[in-house]
Amino acid sequence: MELTKNITLGVYLPGETYIHNLDPRTKIIAAAILITLLLFIKSYLAYAIFLFLIIAILVIATIPPGYAFSGLKPMLPILVLMWLFQLFLYSTPDAEVIVSWWIFSATDAGLHMGNLISMRVLFLFTVTTILTLTTSIVSLTDGLESLLNPLKKIGLPSQELVMTMIIALRFVLILAEELDKIIKAQMARGVAFDRGNFIQKTKSLFPVFLPLFINAFKRAEELIVAMEARSYTGGKGRTKMKTLHMGRVDLFAGLFILLFSALIIYVILIVPPVI
Amino acid sequence: MNPLIEVVDLSYSYRAGSGNEVAALKKVNMKVFEGEILAITGRNGSGKSTLARHFNCLLTPVSGSVDIDGLSVSDKTNVASIRRQVGMVFQNPDNQLVSSIVEEDIAFGPENLGLPAEEIRERVNWTLKTLNLKNLQYESLNQLSEGQKQLVAIAGVLAMKPRCIVLDEPTAHLDPRSRREVISNALKLNRDEGITIVLLTHFMEEVTRCDRMLVMDMGEIKMEGTPKEVFDDEEKILSLGLDFPVSAKLADGLRKKGISIPRKTIHAEELITSLCQLK
């Protein structure tokens, strides 16, 4: 059970392209806009236009397509299942049956619905992947902190939230390593993780998670003391070493995303939805 | 020399007032002088960590007083300025580093002080240079060795430009080589930057490199003096559960064999010199 190997958090692909060098806030907002647009797209034409944008971004950011979609593999079975569900179960009164087998029948409405939903998931995945591939975790959290800052006025502890995220990111790997150690230690004492039925297997997880949780709390306590010793008293009065700057590229990217949104909204309004 | 830290009649108990309290410190009196390197040693549970945590306002005295350059740690309004003056490094580097990137973590302390961005950047660069960590600046902390992580932890404290750094068993988790590196760096900070160092340790080799040492047991200070003076009282050292530096043991063994090595030999260099002077 080598757990640590399978954890690829923040799959950042370092680079010096226009996309990489954009302010993280620009990228986060752009991704949010694109995701919102995706929720309203109901025509193949709009998806085709969207595909052009995605390809353009991948080319500019010099991300190998294979790399961009490699994270999709574990999702593929679910995606196919979803497509099949829509195909056979979704129908409208005036739909034409295309295939019929036993008690199942697939209609053209189901086919379109399956296509649209699968494409929506695919594009959502691609947009977020591009964001994390071109933005390091650190600048992502910096961007997020800066974007959440205005919400401090309505009582949201934005700095503390982001600090929690930063610490969580740091401890993911440490805890994964610890889990690995505990599993090996318990195996050495004769806990059999791979034997027995479902209930027995679940029970054998207790001697793993109990020490893990206890250790996590101990670590948290030590970390609090260390942070306090380094003058941490919450977000108040804290400054940042790195201040974010929006440049001309960000303005250009923002304008481009706005134009693109206008185009997509136009297409959504003009082209009748496929179903 | 004037005392930077002055402890008078300090007592502390865990779970004070709950009926089953544990006395960790009993009427401790001690001083830390500006610019010195002080070692505090003693077996586990002797109270050295409890004592050290008062220097940084992590604990406040149950009775007695602790003053940092005249500021009492019992007064809540002094906490911020005391923590600027006395920094603390703990045993496990993994549990004291906050950010995932080296330079970001070093910036954490100065950021808490509310300094302007340029000043933080300047301090981070200065710290990286002082501790020779420039090549690790953008490294992810998960990629570093334990020794390197502990150096980053020291860097994080150094960036706050304290007058005194308290190191609470900083080398307990490290292999011998990183242990030496961490200690040499701490000593270098004392020599080059004039920072007062308080080192809590179980390793007698590290103790011999300090100016002065305290031995604690059962919440009290049992011995105090230069390492040469303290290690001279063999019986007491053994009764307090401590050991001797390797050079001292070797010198002692040679003396018993009739080879004339002067007493109070605790450093390897001294031993080598006296051995070379033998006929």
Classify residue A13 by burial, with Cβ atoms within 10 Å: 0-12, 13-18, 19+. Answer: middle
The whole-angstrom separation of Cα A31 and Cα A130 is 9
Cβ distance A110 to A86 under 8 Å? yes
The two tokens of residue B226 are: 């230069």
Considering only CB atoms, A173 lies closest to which of B80, B109, B142, namely B142
Q: Which are the contacts of B195, defined by CB distance < 8 A and separation ≥ 6?
A: B158, B162, B163, B164, B165, B189
Q: Which are the contacts of B248, defined by CB distance < 8 A and separation ≥ 6?
A: B204, B231, B265, B266
The pLDDT of residue A11 is 66
Give φ, ψ of B10 to 5 degrees.
Answer: -75, 125
Cβ distance B207 to B244 under 8 Å? no
pTM, 2 dp: 0.82
For testing contact with chain A, the best of B111, B113, B173, B198 (most A CBs within 10 A): B111
Cβ distance B83 to A202 under 8 Å? no
The pLDDT of residue A169 is 82
The whole-angstrom separation of Cα A107 and Cα A86 is 10
Q: Tell me if residue B131 falls in helix, strand or coil.
A: coil
The pLDDT of residue A227 is 94
Considering only CB atoms, A222 lies closest to which of B92, B110, B116, namely B92
Considering only CB atoms, B120 lies closest to which of A170, A231, A239, namely A239
- CB contact under 8 Å between A138 and B121, yes or no, is no
Nearest alpha carbon to residue A209 among A187, A191, A182: A182
Q: Tell me if residue B45 falls in helix, strand or coil.
A: coil
Convert chain A into a string of H (helix), E (strand) and C (coil): CCCHHHCCCCCCCCCCCHHHHCCHHHHHHHHHHHHHHHHHCCCHHHHHHHHHHHHHHHHHCCCCHHHHHHHHHHHHHHHHHHHHHHHHHCCCCCCCEEEEECCEEEEHHHHHHHHHHHHHHHHHHHHHHHHHHHCCHHHHHHHHHHHHHHHHHHCCCHHHHHHHHHHHHHHHHHHHHHHHHHHHHHHHCCCCCCCCCHHHHHHCCHHHHHHHHHHHHHHHHHHHHHHHHCCCCCCCCCCCCCCCCCCHHHHHHHHHHHHHHHHHHHHHHHCCCCC
Considering only CB atoms, B115 lies closest to which of A173, A228, A239, namely A239
Q: Tell me if residue B9 falls in helix, strand or coil.
A: strand
Cβ distance A180 to A6 under 8 Å? no
Give φ, ψ of A108 to 5 degrees.
Answer: -65, -30
The whole-angstrom separation of Cα B185 and Cα B181 is 6
CA distance A255 to chain B (A): 30
- The DSSP bridge partners found for residue B23 are B13
For testing contact with chain B, the best of A180, A231, A242, A244 (most B CBs within 10 A): A231
Residue B7 contacts A, CB cutoff 8 Å: no
The series of mean pLDDT values per 10 residues for chain A, 275 residues long, is 44 83 94 95 93 94 83 86 90 81 83 92 90 86 89 88 88 87 89 80 85 93 93 86 88 95 94 80
HSE of B15 in the Cβ direction (CA atoms, 13 Å)? 5
Q: Tell me if residue B94 falls in helix, strand or coil.
A: helix
pLDDT digits (tens, 9 = 90+) for B134-155: 999 988 888 899 999 999 999 9
The two tokens of residue A117 are: 């939903």
Torsional sign, CA B39, B40, B43, B49: negative
How far CA A274 is from CA of A96, A97, A99, A108, in Å, comes to 14, 16, 19, 10
> What is the residue-level pLDDT of chain B in tens, covering all 279 positions?
679 999 999 999 988 777 788 889 999 999 999 999 999 999 998 999 999 999 999 999 999 999 999 999 999 999 999 999 999 999 999 999 998 889 999 999 999 999 999 999 999 999 999 999 999 998 888 889 999 999 999 999 999 999 999 999 999 989 999 999 999 999 999 999 999 999 999 999 999 999 999 999 999 999 999 999 999 888 899 999 888 888 888 888 888 888 888 888 888 888 888 888 887
pLDDT digits (tens, 9 = 90+) for B82-136: 999 999 999 999 999 998 889 999 999 999 999 999 999 999 999 999 999 999 9
The whole-angstrom separation of Cα A97 and Cα A112 is 12
Cβ distance B166 to B134 under 8 Å? no
Cβ distance B153 to B89 under 8 Å? yes
Helix A206-229 × helix A158-188 angle, to 10°: 140
- CB contact under 8 Å between B112 and A233, yes or no, is yes
Cβ distance A147 to A28 under 8 Å? yes
- CB contact under 8 Å between B120 and A241, yes or no, is yes
The two tokens of residue B102 are: 């080296």
Q: Which residue of A has its CA nearest to B120?
A: A241
Cβ distance B197 to B186 under 8 Å? yes
Cα angle for residues A16, A67, A179 (degrees, 5° grid): 100
Cβ distance B125 to B164 under 8 Å? no
For testing contact with chain A, the best of B68, B91, B98 (most A CBs within 10 A): B98
Torsional sign, CA A136, A141, A147, A149: negative
Nearest alpha carbon to residue B90 among B56, B136, B123: B56
Domain architecture of chain B: domains with CATH: 34-59+71-227 (3.40.50.300)
ipTM score assigned to the predicted complex: 0.88
